[in-house]
Amino acid sequence: MPLYMIYHPKGTFSTNEEKGALAKDITALYTAIPLPAFYVNVIFMPLESDQIWIGGIPRPSPHSAANGPGGDTSIPFIRITIEHIARALRTKEIRDSFLARLDKALKPHIEDEGFDWEYSLDETSRDLWKVQGLVPPQTETEAEREW
């Protein structure tokens, strides 16, 4: 299961259309593997601007020279944490390929909108995962394809 936690200031990703487009692009990364679409969790976490602080400065906040060094603090900051459980990125080539596809999927929703952003990806043990109380079928098995 990939889990995406998208922390963003209120006023960004404010419509179901915006959220749905990003969630669909993220889901498509995994259904292409293929993983069942219902494995993909995308959770939007809107936060007040005084709850996102980068370098000791709330984001967004009015930009001033006193806020430097760094970027324009008036630009909203998006933070994404990602957990992978269903699959692991086992080699450098696989990691590089996946991260390039992830960057491409996020670009129109975040970078092209002019937001500052960052993400990190953790991989956790598949042995500690259940769906509806059931242990998911093993990777790339007929049982998983049936799911």
Cα three-residue angle 70-76-55, rounded to 5 degrees: 35
Q: Give the pLDDT score at 25.
A: 98
Q: Give the pLDDT score at 146.
A: 78
Query: What does the pLDDT average to over 94-104?
Result: 97
Query: What does the pLDDT average to over 98-111?
Result: 98
Any idea what the CATH number is for the domain that residue 39 is in? 3.30.429.10
- Say what percent of the chain tops pLDDT 90: 65
Number of domains in the chain: 1
Among residues 137, 131, 76, the alpha carbon closest in space to that of 109 is found at 76
The Cβ of residue 64 has, within 10 Å, a number of other Cβ atoms equal to 10
Residue 12 near residue 52, CB atoms below 8 Å: no
What is the domain extent for residue 37? 2-146
- Say what percent of the chain tops pLDDT 70: 100
The residue behind tokens 């005084």 is: 50
Both tokens of 114, joined, read 């002019």
Any bridge partners for residue 144, and if so which? none
Question: Order of strands across the sheet with 77-84?
Answer: 41-47, 2-9, 77-84, 116-123
pTM for the full predicted model: 0.90
pLDDT in tens, 7-66: 999 999 999 999 999 999 999 999 998 888 999 999 999 999 789 998 888 988 888 877
